[in-house]
Amino acid sequence: MGTKTVDEAGAETGTEAKRDEQTVDVTETDRAEASTDNGSEAAAAGTAADVEERNEAEEPDEADEDLVDDSADAAKDAGVGQGAAAVVSAGLGVVSLTGSWVATVAAARETLIGQLGTSSTASVATQVKEVYGDAWATTALIGGLFALAALIVGVVVLVRPAFGAPGKPQAAWIKSVAWAGVSLGVVGLVLAVAKYSDIILGLPSAG
């Protein structure tokens, strides 16, 4: 009876020891699995963070886009302004050659002043000069002013890119219209000076 009891106690002790070893093994296995899961979650979180950083780096900056848009809008506005100025230059050149209502009114005013200021007893040469000569000179003066304005505006349009946007090519049609305005302005200015000084179309002789 005593031997059997000792054997049974030893067996029970061995069984408990095995159970403890199995419990330790299970605990260590759970810990290893938990560590693996935590590592996988950390790696997944790190991968997601890397992907977000890459996406942010690849996405264009809104500030840069705004700068590009502002530059494009400024360039368009500058092109529109230069084109309008070129058209104005050409129009002023045409007016300097064909005449305007301003020149017509100014010439009629000078004619009226000449008639009022010249007596009926004045010589024919004096009457012609006061009534017609001054009116024609006034017309030439007004035409010369329009021609000078056309010349200045055309030159400003042609040299504008060198000061406003260096290196940016100017539209071909703007250059063409501006050159047309400059050419008309030069021709109108030369004709106006020639008429004002009586080089061409001078007063007829009263003799």
Q: Are residues 126 and 47 in the same domain?
A: no
pLDDT value for 127: 83
Q: Would 5 be classed as within a structural domain? A: yes
Q: Are residues 92 and 146 in the same domain?
A: yes
Q: Are residues 79 and 177 in the same domain?
A: yes
Q: Is 172 exposed, middle or buried (0-12, 13-18, 19+ CB in 10 A)?
A: exposed
Q: Would 207 be classed as within a structural domain? A: no
Q: Are residues 181 and 115 in the same domain?
A: yes
13: containing domain: 1-59
Question: What is the distance between the alpha carbons of residues 141 and 95, in angstroms, rounded to a whole number?
Answer: 13
Confidence of residue 193 (pLDDT cuts 50, 70, 90): very high
Q: Are residues 46 and 101 in the same domain?
A: no
Q: Would 204 be classed as within a structural domain? A: no
Looking at the structure of the chain, the number of domains it has is: 2
pLDDT value for 142: 96
Estimate to the nearest angstrom the gap between the alpha carbon of 68 and the chain centroid: 11
The rounded mean pLDDT for the chain is 75
Q: Would 31 be classed as within a structural domain? A: yes
Q: Are residues 81 and 164 in the same domain?
A: yes
Q: Would 65 be classed as within a structural domain? A: no
Q: What is the mean pLDDT of residues 85-106?
A: 94
Q: Are residues 31 and 102 in the same domain?
A: no
Q: Which of these three, 59, 86, 104, is where a domain ends?
A: 59
Of the listed ranges 17-31, 128-142, 171-185, 192-206, the one predicted with least confidence: 17-31
Looking at per-residue confidence, does 179 or 34 come out higher? Answer: 179
Q: Are residues 50 and 100 in the same domain?
A: no
**DSSP per-residue letters across 146-184:** HHHHHHHHHHHHHHHHHHHSTTPPPPHHHHHHHHHHHHH
pLDDT value for 196: 92
Percent of the chain at pLDDT > 90 equals 38
Beta strands in the chain (DSSP E): none
Q: Are residues 1 and 93 in the same domain?
A: no
